[in-house]
Structure formats: structure tokens, C-alpha cells
Chains A and B, each alone.
Chain A
Amino acid sequence: MDIRFRLNGEDRAVDAGASQSLLSLLRDGLGLPGSKNACEQGECGSCTVVMDGRAVCSCLVLAADTDGADITTVEGLGDEDTLHAVQAALVDGGGVQCGFCTPGFVVAAAHLFESNPTPSTDEIREALSGNICRCTGYGGILRSLEGLAGR
């Protein structure tokens, strides 16, 4: 199925499979493995992307329904040379251990900071409540982002 969308600032024409999720299209079809697949049922947030200004689980988006959408994945936020402010904060603050959950946290946190550069601790916790981390116990992630918020 031919669809057109804007992906990380670039107009793309791609082929979406029947019943394929956006997550699968990104990872398997477009070579963008940054969005992680851990549950495929919306529970973990590791697949979070921003679509038309909303942070959503890409595993719960039907790829064929993304025609016309504007999508940002973790690959669109920063790279090894130019880290996004959220990525730099997590590196500096010890917010990363195995790293599997990190892209989802980065996208969700970047989305928060875009609309609210100085979120409260509660606002940070709330914005990240859809992301699960099995390593850090969340303390490192929270402190890193509080630092970025100037707290």
C-alpha cells in the first residue's frame, strides 16, 4: 500500500504492509531501529514517536493510516555528534543503563520539554508514566531531567 508521509523532516513515499504497525514499518521497512519493540501492546513506551504533534506508541499505529502524517522518531532528534538536550542530560546524569528503553524515554521527554521547558517533577513523572525501564529504577532518569529543567 503506497503511503506518503513526512519522516524526520523528509517527505517519503513508502510501501506499508497489510496489518503492519508503524513500528514494524520503521524498523523492518525503513531501517530505523531506534524505536524499540518490547511489547507491541502499548504497555512499555519503548516505541514512542511523535506523530502530528502527539507522542504515541508506534506499535499501536496502523502504518497504512499514517498517510499525510508528520512523524519524528528518535533518529530525528539527535545523533552521536549532536545529541539532543534530553540525550545529553541522560548521558551526563546516569539516566541510561542497558539503553533499551532509552529511545522511548528520549522521545517522550523531548516532547514534554518542547511544550514545557521547565517542567515540575510531577510533570516529568506524568509525561514519562507510559515508559517502562527495567534497569534504572527511574531515579537516574528523573534526576537527569530535573537537571535539564533547572531543578
Chain B
Amino acid sequence: MEIDRPTDLATALEALRQAPDATLLAGGTDLMVEINFGHRRPEHVIALRRVNELQEVDGTIGAGVTWARLEEGPHRALAQAARTVGSPQIRAAGTIGGNLGTASPAGDGLPFLVALDAEIELRSAAGSRRLRWDEFLTGPKLTALQPGELIHSVVLPEEIPARQEFGKVGVRNAMVISAVMACVVRYEDGRTRVAVGSAGPTTLRMGRAEEMISAEADPSAAALSEFQRLVSEEVRPITDHRSTESYRRHAAGVIARRLLERCLR
């Protein structure tokens, strides 16, 4: 096994140019599990945790930013999501870039990015490109990342509503992968965006529920119930070892409604 441990972005990109198929390593909290269980034996690793340019948190969020740092802000719902990831040990090492790289439908960092229509900035020695989240996340554990590229950062829109909430349903508080989770954001003019995870092949947006509730300036109890019903209808969950299709469908509606109610307070 070869390893590069670049300390700046240019060196990292040059290493990646020379070894486009090298395995990128950030906090290791996903990758090392695969290595320990013999599912992966990388021949060449490029370790990114020393690269300063990936550590930004203002404006764009660098791929190398850990959950422990995101817990501190500046984005309320992302901090709420960060707070639910694994355990203190996992949050001290795991990064948002690694969450995107793994692209699990259960990635807790993703609903916030999806609700805000964030873009993912990719870099290679040849240049950079930005993909909207739905161009980047192409399927369960699948992304549009090409050999020779790395995830540089998450680019958020200029307008970010103050009303934003994340919530997660799982079997216990600490150290639990979501059975289902959601992020709801509401702009001052009523526009509402809802992203749900662990309820489809990738994180999903609830287009019909959004459209319906965005038109309600001061949603009535009946409107909230309709919102909940639409979310439960729109998700596309499966049954697996963590939960069932019907429980996820139900819980997605409940959690989305609860988050919306918090946004409306």
C-alpha cells in the first residue's frame, strides 16, 4: 500500500492526477470499517485530513470539516444533524465530505444540503466543477465523482432561512443510524422545502408537500395534517434490518410535520 499525506490542496490534486484511482481517506469512519472487514484493500491511499483548504466553514463548507465542528454552527439544522451522528469519537473524526463520498441514503448530513439545493464543488488537477445535489447523488452509495476528482466543498445558496430544523428517528439516542430523518426549512415568504433521508434510494425532496404548504401563510391544523399525509405518500422507503417500509412511511410524515411546526413557532 502506498500513502500520500498532502498538507495543501495543490499537492493533493497532483497526487490524485498521478493516481486517479487512489482511495481518498478523510476521517476513516466509513472507510476503515470496510478495510477492517476485508471489503476493501486499497493499494494507494491519499489521506486528506491535513489539507487546510478543506477546513473552511464560512460561506462554503469544506469537505474536511468534522461533525464536531459543525455541531458548533453556523447552521442550526446542520448542527442538529451533526449532533446526532454516531458518538463523540465518530463526530471528532468523521467529516461532511466523507458523508457525501459514502452517499448513503442514511447520511445525516445530506437532508440539510438537499433542502437548500446545495451544490457540491469537485476539484481535480484539470479544474473544478459544481454539481447540484441531485446531479451528485446518483443512487444509493453512488455519486458522480470521477477518477482524479475529490470533493472540495459544499456551496450553499446566498439566501438561507433562519427557520430550519432537522430531526431523526432511530432506536436510541446515541450511536444510531437513522430509520428515517428529515430537514425542513421555511423562508419568510412561506416557501417551504422538505428533504427526507433513509426513505428512498437517495435523500428525497417532497415536491407535492412543499408546494401545498408553501401556499399556506398560516397553516391550519388541517393543512398540517395534509402536509404529513403528502410526505408519507411521497417517500419511497424499503424494509431492511433497520426498519420497515410502513414504519418509515409513517415516521417520515410525523417527523416532517413536527419539524414544520417547530419552524412555524
A120 interface residue (CB < 8 Å to B): no
Question: Chain A contact residues (Cβ within 8 angstroms of B): what range?
Answer: 20 to 34
Chain B neighbourhood of A42, CB < 8 A: 29, 32-33, 86-87, 89-90
Q: Flag if B32 contacts A45 (CB, 8 Å).
A: no
User: Number of residues in B with C-beta < 8 Å to the partner?
Assistant: 29
Q: Contact string, A44-68, partner B, CB cutoff 8 A, digits 1/0?
A: 0100100000111101111011011
Across the interface, A62 reaches (CB within 8 A) one of B35, B41, B90, namely B35
Given A45-B89, A57-B93, check contact A64 B3 (CB 8 Å). Answer: yes
* Min distance, Cβ B112 to any Cβ of chain A, angstroms: 22
Does B37 lie within 8 Å of A40, measured CB to CB? yes
Query: Is B10 on the interface with A (CB-CB < 8 A)?
Result: no
Residues 69-83 of A, flagged 1 when their CB comes within 8 A of B and 0 if not, give 000000000000000
Assess A130 versus B86: contact at CB under 8 Å? Given A41-B37, A43-B175, A54-B68: yes
Q: How distant is A107 from chain B, measured CB to nearest CB, in Å? A: 10
Bound-complex Cα distance A60 to B37 (A): 11
Q: Is B65 an interface residue (CB 8 A)?
A: no
In the complex the two chains form, what is the Cα distance from A40 to B47 in whole Å?
20
List, in ascending order, chain A residues with CB within 8 A of B49's CB: 65
Report how far A42 CA is from B28 CA in the complex, Å.
10
A65 CA to B68 CA, complexed, in Å: 20
Question: Once the chains are docked, how many angstroms separate the CA of A41 from the CA of B31?
Answer: 10
- Nearest B residue to A48, CB-CB: B89
A 1-22 contacts with B by CB, 8 A: 1, 18-19, 21
Taken together as a complex, chains A and B put the C-alpha atoms of A62 and B5 apart, in Å, by: 12
Q: Interface 1/0s, chain B 161-183, versus A by CB < 8 A?
A: 00000000000011100000000
Given known contacts A55-B89, A57-B90, A129-B174, is B45 in contact with A64 (CB within 8 Å)? yes
How far, in whole Å, are A84 and B29 apart by their CA atoms in the complex? Answer: 29
- CA–CA, A110 to B174, complex, Å? 20
* Contact status A19-B42, CB under 8 Å: yes
Asked if A40 and B36 sit within 8 Å, CB to CB, the answer is: yes
By the criterion CB–CB under 8 Å, are A130 and B174 in contact? yes
Given known A57-B93, A62-B28, A130-B89, contact A41–B5 (CB-CB < 8 A): no
Alpha-carbon distance between A48 and B93 when the two chains are bound, in angstroms: 12
Whole-angstrom distance from the CB of B90 to the nearest CB of chain A? 6
User: B45 contacts A62, CB within 8 Å?
Assistant: yes
Q: Which residues of A contact B3 (CB under 8 A)?
A: 1, 62, 64-65
Chain B hits for A41, CB < 8 A: 33, 36-37
Q: A54-B93, A65-B45 are in contact. List 7 more A-B contacts (CB 8 A).
A: A19-B1, A48-B89, A57-B89, A57-B90, A61-B32, A65-B5, A65-B25
26 A-B contact pairs sorted by A residue (CB < 8 Å): A1-B1, A18-B1, A19-B41, A19-B42, A40-B33, A42-B87, A43-B175, A48-B89, A54-B92, A55-B92, A57-B93, A59-B32, A60-B29, A60-B32, A61-B28, A61-B32, A61-B93, A62-B3, A62-B28, A62-B45, A64-B45, A64-B47, A65-B25, A68-B5, A129-B88, A131-B87
Q: B residues near A, CB below 8 A?
A: 1, 3, 5, 25, 27-29, 31-33, 35-37, 41-42, 45, 47, 49, 68, 86-90, 92-93, 173-175
Q: A-B pairs with the 6 shortest C-beta distances?
A: A130-B87, A18-B1, A129-B174, A54-B92, A40-B36, A60-B32
